[in-house]
Structure formats: structure tokens, C-alpha cells
Amino acid sequence: MLKLNVKNETSRLRAVVLGTAISNGPTPTESEAYDPKSLEHIKAGTYPIEADMVTEMQAVADVFKKYDVQVYRPELISDCNQIFTRDIAFVIDDVFIKANILPNREEELEAVQYIIDQVDPKKVVRPPEEVHIEGGDVMLWNNHIFVGTYKGSDYKNYITARTNMEGVQYLKDLFPNKIVKEFDLVKSKIEPRDNALHLDCCFQPVGKNKGIIYKSGFREESDYMYLVDLFGKENLFHITRDEMYNMNSNVFSISEDVVISEKNFTRLNTWLRSNGITVEEVPYAEIAKQEGLLRCSTMPLIRD
């Protein structure tokens, strides 16, 4: 049996599901794009090719091996993008929560069923159909659960709005002893520099008490201020619009003092090191073209 345990973003990682880029399928058409950044690269002819993405993901697998983390990979589905495991499910405490993902991604969930089968069935839940939550919008901080959402009345018109207020309420009901705080995120179907697809596109805790944040990713300044008050302004690394576009807040912590980051994130990586954090740099710029990075392609199962 797998004894799940995830209470925050930075405790020592022991087991994780890492997506795969093998048999990723052909470049999508413009109408098949899920997000504005993929669309931009499809139009420009710069959409990433499978071989490059496989190499990038192998670099992450190698880092996990170095730190003795048990790595699970999804079963292969031919011609299917299975990189972003964070979207399909997530763990809070010892509960495995399946996401109600975009319908044509359902088979991605089936590809990790062999892992779910190792979990106590009483600890596996799936929200009712009207509840939308994706793992990229769910950020754990001990007794807090931070949830990205979109409160606009035009929610259903945005394929980039992935977690609704019913999703927030569902988590409040499931974890009554935790502080569940939602954040209203800026969405755009056409401009990736103004689209916070998930909460981890504009915020993520690192280390013991620090975080990476993009102020303009929040529709309400009060939501941004909530995090400033909680973490302290001096503990937050503020990223620019271009750094947000390049996914600087989407790194991944192996522990409080080890972070996997993209090798081009010069300013961020310098700041992390200046705060005593070891930075394991990997190439991930091709995968980033699909508006997802290191946190999006990992689903932690066990942290100490």
C-alpha cells in the first residue's frame, strides 16, 4: 500500500508521479490548443518536438534519482500528451483527489490507475461533475490550502479557467479543519503574458517561509496582499511579466533546501541560492511552450 502524505510544497519528497513526453502525438492544430501560449507556438511553427521534451523530462528524472525519490510514470498512451500530471489529480494530506479534467483528457487518469490501485480506496475521492479543480490551482501550506479560481461571470467561456467556486467549496467541505483561501486569477484566451492558467503560474512557496509571486496575476489586490501579509514582503520574490510568461513560479521543491529550476531562470536561481537553497538546474524551455513547467509535470505522493 502507498501511504500518501502531502501537507505542503516543500517538505522532503519521497515519491512522485512524473509525466512523460514519449509518444506525445503530432503538433496540435490551432483549434486544439488548450491555452494561449501553446497557440502562440503552434502559429509560429516553434511548438516543441517530442525528442526535445523527452530529453528535458529525463533530466528531471535524473535529479529525482540523485535524491533517492521514488518515481512513478504514467502508462503510455500512444499519441497523447501525458506531460502534465498535476492537472489530472493531486494529494492533500493522505487523500488522493481525482480532478474533473477537460473530457478529452480522461484517459490520462486511466494511465495512472495502477498507482491509485495501491492507495486505500477509502482515501481516493472524485468530486461531482459540476466541481472543477485542477492540481495546478491547489497549493498546500500546512494548515492552509490556497486555491486559484476565476470568479468572472464568463467562467464557462474560458478554457483557461480550470477551477470554479464549487471546487473551492468542495475543498472546504473535505478539509473543514484547514484554512481554504481562494485567489481570483487573471485569465486571457489570447495573451499568454496576461493569463494565469493556474495558481502555480503566479505563486508558489519555497524553502521554509518564502515564496515566488507575480502581483499582476491576481485580479484583486487584496488577494495579493493576503500572501504578502502571510509570508512577509521581504520573503517574497517578485517576478516580472516576462518571467511569469516563462513560468518562473513553476519550479518544484524536493525539500526546503533543494529546488529544481529551469536553467535560464538566472535572476530567480540567484535569489534562491542567496537564501541557502540548492538549485538543481534543468533544461525545460521546450516544455514551457505549452504553458506548463516543473510543478505542472509532477504530482507528489509522499513528502516527509
51 pLDDT higher than 80: yes
- The verdict on residue 259 lying in a domain is yes
In the prediction, which pLDDT does 159 show? Answer: 59
pLDDT tens-digit profile of 252-295?
Answer: 999 999 999 999 999 999 999 999 999 999 999 999 888 789 99
What are 290's strand-pairing partners? none
User: Shortest CA distance to 141 belongs to which of 175, 188, 106?
Assistant: 175
Q: Which domain holds residue 183?
A: 13-303
Do 155 and 161 contact (CB within 8 A), yes or no? Answer: yes
pLDDT at 188: 72
In a domain, residue 222? The reply is: yes
pLDDT above 90 for 163: no
* Domain assignment of residue 37, yes or no: yes
Per the document, the length of the chain is: 304
Identify whether 1 is part of a domain. Answer: no
* 177 or 25, which is more confident: 177
- Average pLDDT on 139-151 reads 94
Quick one: CA torsion of 153, 156, 158, 160, rounded to 10 degrees?
Answer: 110
Residue type, 28: P
- Residue with the bigger pLDDT between 130 and 205: it is 205
Query: How many structural domains is the chain composed of?
Result: 1
How far apart are alpha carbons 104 and 108 in whole angstroms?
A: 9
Q: Is residue 8 part of a domain?
A: no
Residue 40 has pLDDT above 90, yes or no: no
Would you say residue 101 has pLDDT above 80? no
With respect to residue 3, please indicate whether it lies within any of the assigned structural domains: no
pLDDT tens digit string along 184-236? 998 776 676 777 778 999 999 999 999 999 999 999 999 999 999 999 999 99
Whole-angstrom distance, CA of residue 27 vs CA of residue 35? 14
Q: What percent of the chain has pLDDT over 70?
A: 95
CA dihedral 6, 7, 13, 16 (to 10 degrees): 30
User: Which tops the pLDDT comparison, 36 or 223?
Assistant: 223
The confidence score (pLDDT) of residue 190 equals 62
Taking residues 159-170, report their average pLDDT. 82
Query: What type of residue sits at position 189?
Result: K
pLDDT at position 151 is 84
Does residue 71 lie within any of the structural domains?
yes
Lowest mean pLDDT segment, chosen from 11-25, 32-46, 53-67, 126-140? 32-46
**In CATH, what number is assigned to the domain containing residue 197?**
3.75.10.10
What pLDDT does residue 150 have?
Answer: 81
Angle, CA of 91, 122 and 109, to the nearest 5°: 50
Q: Considering the domain boundaries, does residue 257 fall inside one?
A: yes
